Amino acid sequence: MRKMRWLFMFSLVFMGLSQQIALAQQEEREEPVIKAEMVKQAEKLIGLEFTDAEIDSMLDGLNRNLRSYQALRKVSLDNSVPPALLFNPIPKGKKLETRQKPIRWSKVNAPEAPDDLEKLAYASVAELAELIRTRKITSVQLTQMYLNRLKKYGPKLQCVVTLTEELAMEQARRADAEIAAGKYRGPLHGIPYGAKDLLAVKGYKTTWGAMPYKDQIIDQTATVVKKLEEAGAVLVAKLTLGALAWGDVWFGGKTRNPWNLEQGSSGSSAGSAAATAAGLVAFSIGTETWGSIVSPSTRCGVTGLRPTFGRVSRAGAMALSWSMDKIGPIARTVEDCAIVFEAIRGPDGIDQTVVEVPFNYDPNVKFSELRIGYTKSLFERDYRGKGNDAKTLETLRKLGAKLIPIELPDTYPVRSLSFILSAEAAAAFDELTRSNRDDLLVRQIKNAWPNVFRTSRFIPAVEYIQANRIRTLVIEELDRLFEAIDLYVVPSFGGNNLLMTNLTGHPCVVVPNGFDDKGSPTSISFIGDLFDEATVLAVAKAVQDATDFHRKHPPLFP
């Protein structure tokens, strides 16, 4: 019996060796596609130099790799399939809060219901919630008002991809019935909102703002949309985004800035910011990979929250960069953002990057107990909005904050890490590039996705991994900064802050803080520690409450 078992094992090994030998012989018979002169040219693309002998030794492996690439390309990969490698922004040794405390929302004195409900178009979520809770207005009335405004002003702003009117009225009627029966779900119950059109909603198109996908229907509803429905919110529209989440140009035109129709609304959460700023929705959902909440919120004069990476599930959302994409609210006030964030945060069992961490929001800020940093040298530069930022710092001091001068870490070349996004985006839209359907995208300039996707094919895997290793060091370096402060305030586009904090996964609250000499809104940003949205929201709210910029509305949209 032992002899038979040994013979069986030997035969398996022999068969395996035979197969390897046969495969090697077959590869030797195949005409090599990659030759030495090609490698010599390719060296220049990656900044390395090899000897002739080294190149000769590489050829078999390079050709074998090429055959592997070709085999892998026969596998159809949907955009929803994530890589097996998951990004974790939590540095070693960092301890996170574990106890969930009761959330304390601010007390709201709701206005009386006006005869003309359109006068509520710019009311905050908190104000609208109190009107609905006390049954001074109904969700159906509010929903119809916002739908009317979307129909009236949406075409002027080019901010709407699809009205979800049938769904919205169904959700609004259900909300009214539940509230009448004493089943009040909370401050989002019956509140109309819009979602960036990279979030799937079953039964509706999800176009990603791009011509190749303009008729795409995904048989799924994004987790964020599901969570908002569970909170009782009413989806009235799917809003525009720059094609594949870049800029404000989509297949139907260019989303406009409500303050200046000659300008685009910036991107990529273009429609979300524009519709919120023009009073077409009570709030909206945007996404950010590298500035796509901060930038349009600034341009349109609204408030945005980019949560910590790993706070909000991206299931059902278009993937652009698996290690950088984040979903967050755009609203009129900081506390509105906090209310929406509370509804959408937390794991769903699908997006494996999401962790359960408490959100202990309390708007009662004790500035004497907080260490607030400010990026001194960035505020001292000459830049658009400098005067308004200086006033914001002064407001903080008047509120009792003792600002600590800090400088952002600069040991590592943060800007050089930006190709991490390019590499992941090229992978997410690999099939689009290989099929040449990228020619259908509206923007075809050098600084647009089609060219970036093609260029990114030449990013070596080794360099991508090395960049992510340096990213770990940047995370650790920024974490050391947070040992001395609780949060910091920074010009919204100051230095490398926007890219760095998107790479590290830190949360950001962006608030309007005035207007420039051309009447365009400006903003300032507050950066919090990982998973500490509660503190950074509370501070930003205190600053916002001490000013009235969030109550200014674009005059073209009364």
Give 270's contacts (C-beta < 8 A, 6+ positions apart).
159, 239, 240, 241, 242, 247, 248, 250, 255, 264, 296
d(CA 209, CA 429): 14
- Annotated catalytic residue 151: no
* Identity of the amino acid at 499: L
Nearest partner of 280 among 489, 556, 82, judged by Cα: 556
Element at 249 (helix H, strand E): strand 249-250
* Identity of the amino acid at 282: A
Classify residue 7 by burial, with Cβ atoms within 10 Å: 0-12, 13-18, 19+.
exposed
Which residue of the set 139, 265, 266, 268 is catalytic? 268
Q: What angle do CA 442, 448, 450 make, to 5 degrees?
A: 75
Beta bridge partners of 403: 372
- State phi, psi for 152 to the nearest 5 degrees: -75, -45
Nearest partner of 86 among 268, 284, 319, 279, judged by Cα: 319
- Annotated catalytic residue 268: yes
Give 161's contacts (C-beta < 8 A, 6+ positions apart).
197, 205, 207, 209, 237, 238, 239, 240, 250, 252, 271
- Annotated catalytic residue 292: yes
Collapsed DSSP state (helix, strand, coil) of residue 101: coil
**Residue appearing with tokens 């999800």:** 206
- Classify 50 in phi/psi space as left (phi over 0), alpha (psi -120 to 50) or beta: beta
In the chain, the largest separation of any two C-alpha atoms, in whole Å, equals 95
Give 14's contacts (C-beta < 8 A, 6+ positions apart).
none
**Helix and strand counts by DSSP (H, E) for the chain:** 18, 15
- Yes or no: say if 238 and 194 are a contact pair by the CB < 8 Å rule: yes
Prior bond of 268 cis (ω within 30°): yes
Helix axes 461-481 and 419-428, enclosed angle (nearest 10): 130
- Yes or no: say if 213 and 306 are a contact pair by the CB < 8 Å rule: no
Which residue of the set 139, 196, 313, 492 is catalytic? 196
Give CA separation, 91 vs 301, 309, 404, in Å.
34, 13, 24
Which residue of the set 265, 292, 297, 525 is catalytic? 292
The catalytic residue positions are: 196, 268, 292
